[in-house]
């Protein structure tokens, strides 16, 4: 018989580690987590994933491209800044030097094939 017993609790996500934040930063993190309805730990995991997905310099260039070259509405660009991973197709188009019009044409062609 296996000596390990399921004692309940949350499943492990990964190894724990400690980080020291200035109190004002911790307050901002806690407020952001509360606003999104998640724990501090969950919010920090999401923030880390976001930052690893699109670096600050690339995000800045991507946003300028959306505003200046693609004429995307400012409110939509704000959503891109908040959750760039949700705009993976736009980001890939930017990375390869394409245009959003090309992406729209590909979507229309794919829809017509159905």
Domain parsing of the chain, residue ranges: 21-53, 55-114
3-class SS letters over 22-38: CHHHHHHHHHHHHHHCC
Confidence (pLDDT) at 113: 58
pLDDT over 80 (residue 7): no
Q: What is the pTM of this model?
A: 0.59
pLDDT, tens only, 75-93: 999 988 888 878 889 999 9
Q: Which segment, 1-5, 14-18, 67-71, 108-112, is predicted with the most confidence on average?
A: 67-71
Evaluate whether 33 touches 39 at the Cβ level (below 8 Å).
yes
3-class SS letters over 53-92: HCCHHHHHHHHHHHHHHCCCCHHHHHHHHHCHHHHHHHHH
């Amino acid at each position: 018989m296996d000596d390990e017993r399921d004692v309940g609790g949350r499943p492990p996500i990964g190894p724990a580690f400690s980080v020291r934040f200035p109190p004002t930063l911790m307050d901002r993190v806690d407020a952001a987590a509360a606003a999104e309805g998640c724990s501090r730990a969950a919010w920090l995991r999401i923030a880390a994933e976001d930052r690893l997905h699109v670096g600050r310099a690339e995000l800045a260039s991507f946003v300028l491209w959306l505003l200046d070259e693609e004429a995307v509405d400012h409110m939509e660009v704000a959503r891109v800044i908040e959750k760039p991973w949700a705009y993976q197709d736009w980001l890939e188009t930017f990375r390869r030097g394409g245009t959003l019009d090309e992406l729209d044409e590909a979507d229309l062609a794919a829809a017509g094939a159905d």
